[in-house]
């Protein structure tokens, strides 16, 4: 049974992997953390493209993946069009900040997007944002350092940065001009949603892309006749610290992988 490849610059894509495993419990997954070359979100496009190509090639050569989920907003915006052109027979599913559902659910018409600087500076994000011009006021909040803090299990830095960026994302509320919906535009951020929520009223909505991506992956595999009816499984790989990835999976997925191997992509 061929697996589905999933990759991110670090552990953030585990939030997407959790949604994928819930939606597709009979599938095998290979999750690749490119931790040795992280973070992507504060690098240029050329760097992200090079890493995305190498990781994709390793997942194809090493595991014969039947589909690829680019579980990283930055890699999606910078590289997915090239990956699809270079691997036309491989279904490739990417991410984008969940502005469409945010606009659809917001009652005040004021939305904040928390994301990496790389995502917010991309042409793809600009086009997405502009497509909703007139429908909602969208505030961009670049969250420098938050990915690094999450990767390092730095509880103190996570708390400090979440407080800082939530202050920038507000004011929150239901009154005209107040933000009632926050888009978590980086896969790392759902992992600390409870900390972010400490700085917001209970009614504030947080929206991420995990469930929609999982649903799209199911649709793509079904259309290609590639859905599995076997036993699910999980393999973890990292170009950096394997132990750190396994600890993150245990912490945020509450699972132990069936196979873990170091990688050098």
143 is catalytic: no
85 lies in the same domain as 110: no
In angstroms, how far is the first alpha carbon of the chain from the final one?
A: 23
Q: Which of 48, 59, 72, 146 is catalytic?
A: 72
Mean of pLDDT values over 108-122: 92
CA distance 105 to 246: 36
Decide if 262 is inside a domain. Answer: no
pLDDT at 118 over 90: no
143 lies in the same domain as 228: no
Decide if 170 is inside a domain. Answer: yes
Q: Which of 111, 161, 182, 186 is catalytic?
A: 186
Decide if 119 is inside a domain. Answer: yes
At 137-191, the pLDDT tens digits run 999 999 999 988 998 889 999 999 999 999 999 999 999 999 999 999 998 999 9
Tell me the residue range of the domain where 76 lies: 4-96+210-253
102 lies in the same domain as 140: yes
115 lies in the same domain as 192: yes
Q: What is the pLDDT of residue 163?
A: 98
Q: What is the pLDDT of residue 29?
A: 96
CA distance 219 to 202: 33
pLDDT at 265 over 60: no
At 127-151, the pLDDT tens digits run 999 999 889 999 999 999 998 899 8
158 lies in the same domain as 227: no
For residue 127, the domain's CATH number is 3.40.50.1860
The string of DSSP letters for 44-68 reads -HHHHHHHHHHHHHHHHHHH--SEE
Decide if 86 is inside a domain. Answer: yes
Mean of pLDDT values over 119-130: 89
Decide if 258 is inside a domain. Answer: no
**Number of structural domains, the chain?**
2
Mean of pLDDT values over 24-30: 96
Mean of pLDDT values over 252-263: 61
172 lies in the same domain as 198: yes
Residue 77 confidence class, pLDDT cut points 50, 70, 90: confident
From the annotation, which residues make up the binding site for substrate?
A: 8-9, 40-41, 73-74, 187-188
Decide if 261 is inside a domain. Answer: no
Residue 43 confidence class, pLDDT cut points 50, 70, 90: confident
89 lies in the same domain as 216: yes
145 lies in the same domain as 59: no
Q: What is the pLDDT of residue 153?
A: 87
32 lies in the same domain as 131: no
122 lies in the same domain as 88: no
Q: What is the pLDDT of residue 44?
A: 84
Decide if 260 is inside a domain. Answer: no
Q: What is the pLDDT of residue 253?
A: 79
CA distance 142 to 120: 7
Burial class of residue 79 in the structure, from the number of CB atoms within 10 Å of its CB (0-12 exposed, 13-18 middle, 19+ buried) = buried
Q: What is the pLDDT of residue 48?
A: 94
Tell me the pLDDT of the chain averaged across its residues: 92
From the annotation, which residues make up the binding site?
A: 8-9, 40-41, 73-74, 187-188
215 lies in the same domain as 182: no
In this prediction the pTM is: 0.85
Contact 97, 141 (CB under 8 A): no
111 lies in the same domain as 236: no
Q: What is the pLDDT of residue 47?
A: 94
């Amino acid at each position: 049974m061929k697996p589905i490849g999933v990759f991110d610059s670090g552990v953030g894509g585990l939030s997407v992997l959790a949604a994928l495993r819930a939606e597709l419990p009979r599938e095998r997954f290979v999750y690749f953390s490119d931790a040795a070359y992280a973070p992507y979100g504060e690098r240029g496009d050329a760097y992200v493209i090079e890493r995305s190509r190498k990781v994709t090639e390793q997942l194809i050569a090493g595991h014969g993946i039947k589909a690829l989920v680019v579980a990283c907003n930055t890699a999606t915006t910078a590289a997915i069009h090239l990956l699809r052109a270079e691997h036309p027979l491989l279904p490739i599913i990417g991410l984008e900040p969940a502005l469409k559902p945010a606009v659809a659910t917001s009652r005040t018409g004021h939305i904040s997007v928390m994301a990496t600087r790389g995502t917010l500076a991309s042409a793809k994000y600009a086009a997405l944002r502009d497509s909703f011009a007139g429908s909602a006021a969208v505030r961009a909040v670049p969250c420098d350092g938050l990915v690094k803090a999450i990767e390092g299990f730095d509880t103190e830095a996570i708390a400090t940065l979440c407080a800082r960026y939530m202050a920038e994302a507000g004011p929150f509320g239901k009154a005209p001009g107040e933000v009632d919906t926050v888009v978590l535009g980086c896969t790392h951020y759902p992992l600390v949603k409870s900390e972010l929520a400490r700085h917001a009223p209970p009614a504030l909505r947080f929206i991420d892309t995990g469930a929609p991506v999982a649903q799209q992956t199911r649709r793509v595999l079904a259309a290609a006749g590639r859905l599995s009816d076997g036993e699910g499984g999980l393999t973890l790989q990292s170009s950096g610290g394997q132990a750190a990835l396994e600890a993150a999976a245990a912490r945020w997925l509450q699972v132990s992988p069936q196979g873990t191997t170091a990688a050098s992509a």
